[in-house]
Structure formats: C-alpha cells, structure tokens
C-alpha cells in the first residue's frame, strides 16, 4: 500500500487519539471519564500496529514520526505507574523497614561497629586523659558545649532557641547527615565510613569531655531518650551507604549495573526509614529531652522504654506470626 | 555518544525512540529550579517572621523540604518534570520509558550529593559525557534517564508535483533516501540541494534545478500521489 492511501485510511483515527491524549494532559480526570477512554487501549494498540507497518514499509518520516509521537504519549498513559498509596507507608514503617534492616544485618553490624567503636574509645580516653579534649575540639567549641550542658541551666542541650526552632534545626541537620552518609557510600563506601567514624568520634568526644568535667548528669539526661532513634537511624543510613559501596566493589553474581540498581532500591528504602526515625528523634529531642525539671527516674525510664521499643521494633517487626504471612 | 537515541521495545512490539538530554539543558533546568526554590524560600520567610524565634525552626523545615523534597515531589506528581525541567522540555523516565516512580526518584535525588561534587556537579558532568545515554551517577543507580519531551522538527511536507514513475526498481532503502531528500530539501541551501541531486543525474538525466524537480516528482510517485 502506498503511503498516501495508508494515511488517508487511518489519519482520522490518529487525529482522534492524538486530540484525546492532548486533552488528557490538560484535564486528566474529566477526560478519563469520557466514553472514549474505554476504547483507548484497543485504539492505542492499533496505532502501534500502524507504526510497525509504517516502519516496515519504509514510509517517510512525516508519517512515522507522527505515529511515534502518539505511541510515546499513549505508552506513558497506558503504562503509568499506580499512584502512591498512604497505607503502604504505614505497612512499610511497621513491617517492611525492620525486615529490610534485618536482611542487611551484615552491613548494619559493620556500620554499628564503625560508629560505636570510635565513640566508646574516645569516651574512655577522655576519662583517662582529659586534656585530649583540646586536641579534638577548639576551645570555642568546648565553651559552647559546656554552656549547653551547664547544670545550672533551666533547659538542657541548647544555649538559646525555642522548642520549634530546635526541632527545625535537628531535622535539617540530622537528616542531611544521614542522607549524605547514604549517598556518599557510593564512593566505594569511603564516604559512609568517614561520616560514621567522624560522627562517632565527635559524639564520643563530647560525651567523654562533659562527663570528665562533671557535667555528665545533664548531658546523659538530655541524650538518653532521643539517641535511641537518632543513633540507630544514623547507623542504618550509614549501613545503606556501605551496602551501596560494597555492591560497587563486589557485585557478586550480577553485572555491576543491575546490582547497583538493586542496591540503590534497597538503600533508598533504608534512607527513607531513617528519615522517619530522625523526624521522631528531632521531635523527642526538641520537646522532651530538653525538659530539665523531670526526675532522673522519669528521664532514664523513658529512655530505656524508647531503646527497648526501637530495638524490639527492628528485631521483631514484620515477622510472620502464627497466622503466617 | 553522537547518537543519543535510545530505543525501548514496548510490550506491543514497537520500539519507542527516546532522545537523551545532555548536560547543558539539564544544567539550565537545574538553574531554573534553583532560582525558583530561592524565590519560594524568601517568600515563605515573610509570614514566618511573625513567629519570632520559632519561625527560624519553620524556616529550616521549609529549607529542608526545598533541598531534599522538592525534586522528588515534583517528579512523582508532575509526571517526571520539575518546574525547571518543564520549562526546558525535559522529563525523567524509568528504564521502560514510563514516568519516574517514587523510589527511583528518591535514589536519583539523594545521590545528587555525589554527582554535585567536586565543585558544581563535577562528577555528574563527567558522567553525562561518558555515558551513552547521558546519565549521571544517580540516574545509573536509579535506572532512570532524562529525555527531551519534544521531537526534533520533522521534515516539511513534500511539495506536490505531478508524480513521475521511476524508470527502474529501487531497493527500499534507496526509496527511503529519495523520499527523505524530498522531505528535507527545504532545510538545505539551493546549492546543496543541487549538489545532492546532481549525484543522481544518471537516474534523472538532468542537472541542477531540473534534477531536483525530477527527484521530488519521483518522491511524489513513491508516496502514491497522482
């Protein structure tokens, strides 16, 4: 069949579908309710067939490109991904996320070691040789820490600012650190190792110094509760980064490309979970940890409850019960 | 690297041709997004000033959302286009040509951190130059690519002349070349048209303007015009 006849036969259908697709771009909901929507899959497939014919018969670009445009637009509509659903967010946080963390337990363990070992070592070193604090921190930094955790303060953990102010600050600061430690893991894991180690050193250093100079009381009362979420989330984000770097180094029995895509998929979910944990952590840190007037029993009791909750959630969450899943 | 078209076979068995977008339009789109985000941030600061110190916290939440959330939200809800990409006619698509979904979008925007280093998008620029589909690292790990929405301008319609049958049978690719010449002749200078048409003097038996007219007439015949 010559091109002109082919166009004359079918161009009405092409124009029809094209105008429907254009209308869909402008007013999605109303157009989808039209009766023509029922005909769309069949009509789209016919036009795919026309495109294949046109290419096979070597018709001119004018025709093939016109058809290609319709097919491309139709492909986007027919195979559009399902809209995100909110109940899946909850299912993910309750079950999917802890399952994923357990599935990646080797990376999580490595990340925990990379973070807690430097932290504990500096913490102990600061007790034995308190003057080391001056090699790790500048004296301005030390003065600020001491001001924040001065036992004479009405509110602990901050030198100024309201609860809301600090909430915004904690979200911005902590989540950015967590996201960066995940993303920089792509550089053969070096970034994640650096972020984990440096933060371990820093946190251990502050804790050790404050304990050594006798400000330990307010400090531990402040950090005990929210650290359950905050430190765990940091370790998880770092572990996700390590996973990414490891995959780049040794993709196993897959090609690097697909292996990286799979690792990125897992890593993004872990990072999103860590993000949720850090928002909770920021909330606790801003509104609960800063209250100085509560007794030690309440402070450390609530902290213990939170730690048990977090670890229990990660350990048992999403396990198939007796009902099976 | 010169041919940036990526062919994706659809379930219907035809191939989609997606044109990968290079570093320059993407950088421009990023600039537009950056300016837009600055504008949103400063406009948001005005009402937040009323909250006093707490407003600082809210401002930081806004900044956080613009820094980490803006691209993901735009890409997922606006069919793979942030406002900058829309202005430049770009779109983020999954590997199968459908608009980008949640997780790939999160991956490619989190890994922006790596692409953005050193300096301004050093790794990203190098990566888009090396990769055949001009993807940056984040795109490779997410399995996405950035494409041009609009097609290249197609050739003009072939001018209608009285169709003249070909004196001999041409192979299909030769026919296609002839039709393509007739389609695109309008985009070439007259001298170039003549130069190309003169190559076929053995077929047309004419030179210069006559040869061009003869070829267009043959093309009309090939299309089935009378």
A71-94 pLDDT, tens digit each:
888 888 888 777 778 888 888 888
- In this structure, the answer to whether residues B142 and B218 fall within a common structural domain is no
- What mean pLDDT, rounded, does chain A reach? 85
Q: Between chain A and chain B, how many beta carbons pairs sit less than 8 Å apart? A: 163
Averaging pLDDT over each range in A194-198, B46-50, B208-212, which range is the top one?
A: A194-198
Quote the pLDDT of residue B209.
85
In a domain, B156, yes or no: no
In a domain, B164, yes or no: no
Using a CB-CB cut-off of 8 Å, the residues of chain B touching A175 are 64, 68
Which pLDDT band holds residue A324 (cuts at 50, 70, 90)? very low
**Is the CB of A52 less than 8 angstroms away from the CB of B54?**
no
Structural domain that includes position B119? 4-151
Quote the pLDDT of residue A159.
58
In a domain, B159, yes or no: no
User: In angstroms, rounded to a whole number, what is the distance separating the alpha carbons of residues B44 and B56?
Assistant: 11
In a domain, B127, yes or no: yes
User: In A, residues 271-300, which contact B (CB 8 Å cutoff)?
Assistant: 271-272
- In this structure, the answer to whether residues B81 and B120 fall within a common structural domain is yes
Look up tokens 């190098």; give the residue: B126
pLDDT for residue B1 is more than 60: no
- In this structure, the answer to whether residues B145 and B199 fall within a common structural domain is no
pLDDT for residue B173 is more than 70: yes
User: What would the mean pLDDT of B89-106 be, rounded to a whole number?
Assistant: 87
- In this structure, the answer to whether residues B124 and B181 fall within a common structural domain is no
- In this structure, the answer to whether residues B134 and B202 fall within a common structural domain is no
The per-residue pLDDT for range B149-167, each reduced to its tens digit, is: 877 666 667 777 788 888 8
In a domain, B85, yes or no: yes
Using a CB-CB cut-off of 8 Å, the residues of chain B touching A165 are 53-54, 56-57, 60
Cα-to-chain-centroid distance, residue A184: 13
Q: Which residue in the set B12, B110, B183 is minimally distant from A45, CB to CB?
A: B12
In a domain, B134, yes or no: yes
Quote the pLDDT of residue A113.
94
The per-residue pLDDT for range A114-164, each reduced to its tens digit, is: 999 999 999 898 888 888 888 878 888 888 888 777 777 766 666 566 777
- In this structure, the answer to whether residues B137 and B178 fall within a common structural domain is no
Quote the pLDDT of residue A4.
83
DSSP codes, chain B: ----EEEEE-TTS-EEEEEB--HHHHHHHHHHHHHHHHHHHHHHHHHHGGGTHHHHHHHHHHHHIIIIIHHHHHHHHTTS--HHHHHHTEEEEETTSSBP-HHHHHHHHHTHHHHTTTTTTHHHHHHHHHSTT---HHHHHHTEEEEESSPPPPPPPPPP------SSPPPHHHHHHHHHHHHHGGGS-HHHHHHHHHTTHHHH---HHHHHHHHHHHHHHHHT--
- In this structure, the answer to whether residues B21 and B62 fall within a common structural domain is yes
Please give the ipTM for the structure prediction: 0.83
- In this structure, the answer to whether residues B41 and B97 fall within a common structural domain is yes
User: In angstroms, rounded to a whole number, what is the distance separating the alpha carbons of residues A208 and A200?
Assistant: 12
Using a CB-CB cut-off of 8 Å, the residues of chain B touching A62 are 154-155, 157-158, 183
Segments making up each domain of chain A, as ranges: 3-79, 86-316
Which of B121, B151, B181 terminates a domain? The answer is B151
**Is the CB of B64 less than 8 angstroms away from the CB of A168?**
yes
Quote the pLDDT of residue B38.
93
Q: How many domains does chain B have?
A: 2
In a domain, B160, yes or no: no
Sign of torsion, CA B89 B90 B91 B96? positive
The per-residue pLDDT for range A160-169, each reduced to its tens digit, is: 667 777 888 8
- In this structure, the answer to whether residues B115 and B192 fall within a common structural domain is no
pLDDT for residue B213 is more than 80: yes
- In this structure, the answer to whether residues B65 and B134 fall within a common structural domain is yes
- In this structure, the answer to whether residues B107 and B180 fall within a common structural domain is no
- In this structure, the answer to whether residues B106 and B204 fall within a common structural domain is no
Quote the pLDDT of residue A170.
84
In a domain, B167, yes or no: no
């Amino acid at each position: 069949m010559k091109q002109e006849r082919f166009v004359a036969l079918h161009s009405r259908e092409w124009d029809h579908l094209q105008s429907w697709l254009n209308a869909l771009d402008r007013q999605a909901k109303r157009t989808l309710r039209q009766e023509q929507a029922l005909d769309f899959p069949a009509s789209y497939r016919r036009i795919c067939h026309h495109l294949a014919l046109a290419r096979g018969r070597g018709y001119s670009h004018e025709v093939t490109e016109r058809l290609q445009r319709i097919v491309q637009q139709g492909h986007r509509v027919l195979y559009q991904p399902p809209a995100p659903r909110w109940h899946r967010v909850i299912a993910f946080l309750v079950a999917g996320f802890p399952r994923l963390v357990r599935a990646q337990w080797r990376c999580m363990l490595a990340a925990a070691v990379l973070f807690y070992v430097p932290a504990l070592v500096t913490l102990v070193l600061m007790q034995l040789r308190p003057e080391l604090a001056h090699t790790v921190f500048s004296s301005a930094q030390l003065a600020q820490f001491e001001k924040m955790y001065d036992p004479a303060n009405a509110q602990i953990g901050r030198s100024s600012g309201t609860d809301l102010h600090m909430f915004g600050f904690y979200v911005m600061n902590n989540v950015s650190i967590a996201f960066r430690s995940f993303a920089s893991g792509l550089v053969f894991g070096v970034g994640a190792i650096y972020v984990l180690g440096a933060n371990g050193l820093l946190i251990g250093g502050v804790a050790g110094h404050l304990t050594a100079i006798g400000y330990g009381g307010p400090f531990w009362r402040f950090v005990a509760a929210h650290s359950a979420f905050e430190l765990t989330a940091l370790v998880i984000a770092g572990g996700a980064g390590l996973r990414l770097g490891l995959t780049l180094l040794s993709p196993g029995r897959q090609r690097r490309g697909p292996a990286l895509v799979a690792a990125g998929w897992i890593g993004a979910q872990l990072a999103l979970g860590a993000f949720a944990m850090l928002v909770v952590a920021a909330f606790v840190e801003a509104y609960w940890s800063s209250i100085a007037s509560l007794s030690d029993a309440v402070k450390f009791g609530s902290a213990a409850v939170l730690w048990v909750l977090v670890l229990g959630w990660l350990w048992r969450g999403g396990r198939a019960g007796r009902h099976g899943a | 690297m010169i041919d940036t078209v990526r062919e994706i076979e659809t379930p219907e068995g035809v191939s989609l041709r997606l044109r990968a977008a290079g570093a320059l339009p993407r950088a421009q789109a990023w600039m537009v997004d950056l300016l837009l985000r600055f504008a949103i941030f400063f406009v948001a600061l005005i009402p937040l000033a009323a909250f006093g110190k707490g407003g600082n916290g809210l401002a930081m939440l806004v900044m956080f959302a613009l820094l980490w959330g803006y691209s993901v939200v735009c890409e997922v809800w606006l069919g793979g286009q942030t406002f900058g990409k829309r202005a430049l006619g770009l779109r983020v698509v999954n590997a199968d040509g459908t608009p980008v979904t949640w997780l790939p979008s999160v991956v490619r925007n989190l890994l922006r951190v790596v692409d953005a280093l050193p300096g301004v998008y050093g790794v990203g620029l190098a990566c888009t130059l090396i990769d055949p589909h001009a993807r940056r690292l984040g795109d490779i790990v997410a399995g996405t690519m950035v494409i041009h929405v609009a097609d290249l301008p197609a050739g003009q319609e072939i001018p209608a002349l009285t169709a003249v049958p070909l004196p001999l049978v041409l192979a299909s690719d030769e026919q296609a070349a002839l039709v393509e010449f007739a389609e695109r002749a309008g985009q070439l200078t007259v001298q170039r048209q003549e130069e190309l048409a003169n190559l076929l003097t053995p077929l047309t038996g004419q030179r210069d303007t006559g040869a061009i007219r003869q070829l267009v007439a043959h093309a009309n015949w090939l299309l089935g015009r009378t």
